[in-house]
A and B are shown apart, each in its own frame.
Chain A
Amino acid sequence: MLSIERVGRRFPNGTEALRDVSLRLEPGDFVALLGPSGCGKSTLLRLIAGLDQPDAGRLVWQEGHAPTPGEVGFVFQDATLLPWATAEENVYLPLRLRGISRQQAAPRLREALARVGLEQFAAARPRQLSGGMRMRVSIARALVTRPRLLLMDEPFAALDEFTRHRLQSDLLALWQAIGCTVVFVTHSIYEAAFLARRIVLMSPRPGRIASERASPLPWGHSRLDPAYATLVADITAAMEQALGHGAPVADLAAADPASGDPARSRERSA
């Protein structure tokens, strides 16, 4: 589907976000981009979406051209819904921008909301929905154009543990039903191990791909499977190796402006 070839990106302020990143995405893939803050995961996602351009290297699409609007769905860390619009109007937005009338779009809106279990909340405004429900609306909005590629930038990071687990399971079911390619950015090893068929580990400053793991978990796995725990341990070891033995926290603290937060440091060292 997409071949990312030796891509680099340096921001105008001089920060080198990505260096020499190569990755292939196959149709139907579920790839997790995993790494600590500042490793260029989100930048890579934006390059794939066409929201940013690389300074070096190139993105080669199998079809010979970048996807047309609607072929790529994007889910951000925040639900980023229009606060004045209902859930259905928010889901309608991508179709509206493509000139599809509300009447024509109606069956697809119902289908998209039903897929995320929100058909009863079509008329609700974002402020009337919980954080998890808002994220479901955001996912429905990304799916309504029936994209070939779904890009997700830490979509569940701001949710509580229980909601996150539920949405992760629902996302897997959706992916299985729809069959689109998913690229999922996360800084949670547990999330990457549970969701992805391929886990791409990235290291920071400059952002590079450190290593890659294929998931051995069978379809329909649970968090209680011993194989899941083994995969988490395997990824943790690989990540520590990529970041430098025994020193990842100190390295990150030196480079990350948010490192003054002791809670974040504890989270990283956990």
Chain B
Amino acid sequence: MKDASLAMRASPLLFGLLALAVWEGAVRAFHVPVYLVPGPIAIVAAFLADPIGLLRSLASTLLVTFVALAVAAVLGAALAIAMAASRLAQAAIQPWAVVLQVTPIVAIAPLIIVWVGNPFAALVVCATIVAFFPVFANTASGLAAAAPELGDLFRLYGASRWRTMTLLRLPAALPHFLTGLRISGGLALVGAVVAEFVAGSGGFASGLAYRILEAGYRLEIARMFAALVLLSLAGIAINAGLGWLGRVLLRRRGDAA
């Protein structure tokens, strides 16, 4: 059983290594030029040629991502709570939240960059718009998820709306909020990268997307891939980190088995 579990855990890594080996072998066997498709070794070499530059760019993108995620989390949760507390607020907010969700960020990013002016703030606004909806929608559904009988119980004991919100609806919404946050984490990164692409050299000129554009112009395809790999790893780390945070919070609260 233990061996089988170990094999299950190791299988993604082994499959990844196998795929990389096949990739490297194919590139070498067919003499594919490095400016067309670089092999994994060339990509690692490109990273090692300028690790600090690429990692600084990653940090710049991650800064936009985390600020946007924080803003989206606060804004999404606050608007969901406002909607749960007031039907008028629900009627006022819900259509605009949907508008925000269906608007392609690529289409409005140039406008935002022009209007906001400050490049960092503009990137954060774009990434926030992309990251906002999952945390908002999940929190809103979580706030309505408490058993109706528990709502009756609170009414029976004369609980105020505030007490019902703080003692019942908000705690009931926590797992939903954390699920939304995890989805929004990945989307905040996507939003930050898309905004950096749109901003190009007019933006912060330091994010990973800018490095990808720059490497593309110079035909440094291996460096481009290295930046892409860093982005993927960052996305995986954000997803895993937020998943871990959710598990820890829920376990500490006593939800998890």
Contacts and interface: CB of A to CB of B under 8 A. Distances in A.
A96 B156 contact: no
B12 interface: no
A82 B257 CA distance: 15
A145 B158 CA distance: 13
B171 A82 contact: yes
B156 A80 contact: no
Interface stretch (B61-69, B147-155, B224-232): B147-155
A46 B153 CA distance: 11
A125 B257 CA distance: 10
Interface in A72-116: 72, 74, 76, 78, 80, 82-86, 93-94, 96-98
B159 A97 contact: yes
Contacts of B152: 46, 49, 51, 74, 76
B163 interface: yes
Nearest to B146: A82
B158 A97 contact: yes
Given A70-B157, A72-B156, A97-B157, A82 B163 contact: no
Q: How large is the interface on A (under 10, 10 to 19, 20 to 34, 35 or more residues)?
A: 20 to 34
B12 to A, nearest CB: 31
Nearest to B148: A80
Contacts, number: 55
B78 to A, nearest CB: 22
Identify the interface centre among B152, B155, B156, B171: most chain A CB within 10 Å of its CB. B156
A69 B157 contact: yes
Contact of B149 (A50, A76, A83, A84): A76
B3 interface: no
A94 B152 CA distance: 12
A82 B149 CA distance: 11
Given A51-B156, A94-B157, A97-B157, A83 B150 contact: no
B257 A80 contact: no
B255 interface: yes
Contacts of B157: 69-70, 93-94, 97-98, 145
Given A72-B156, A84-B254, A78 B147 contact: yes
B167 interface: yes
B87 interface: no
B168 interface: yes
Given A83-B255, A84-B253, A84-B255, A69 B147 contact: no
Secondary structure type dominating chain B contacts: helix
A127 interface: yes
A100 to B, nearest CB: 11
Identify the interface centre among A46, A50, A78, A97: most chain B CB within 10 Å of its CB. A97
A84 B171 contact: yes
Contacts of A76: 149, 152-153
Given A50-B156, A51-B155, A97 B257 contact: no
Interface in A43-76: 46, 49-51, 68-70, 72, 74, 76
Identify the interface centre among B159, B168, B174, B254: most chain A CB within 10 Å of its CB. B254
Nearest to B163: A97
Interface string B161-197: 0010001100100100000000000000000000000
B168 A125 contact: no
Contacts of A97: 154, 157-159, 163, 167
A69 B158 contact: yes
B247 to A, nearest CB: 14
Given A76-B152, A98-B157, 17 more contacts: A49-B152, A51-B155, A68-B158, A70-B157, A72-B156, A74-B153, A76-B153, A78-B149, A80-B149, A80-B150, A82-B150, A82-B168, A83-B254, A86-B254, A94-B157, A96-B167, A97-B159
24 contacts: A46-B152, A51-B155, A69-B157, A69-B158, A70-B157, A70-B158, A72-B156, A74-B153, A74-B156, A76-B153, A80-B147, A80-B153, A82-B168, A84-B174, A84-B253, A93-B153, A93-B157, A96-B167, A97-B154, A97-B158, A97-B159, A98-B158, A125-B254, A145-B157
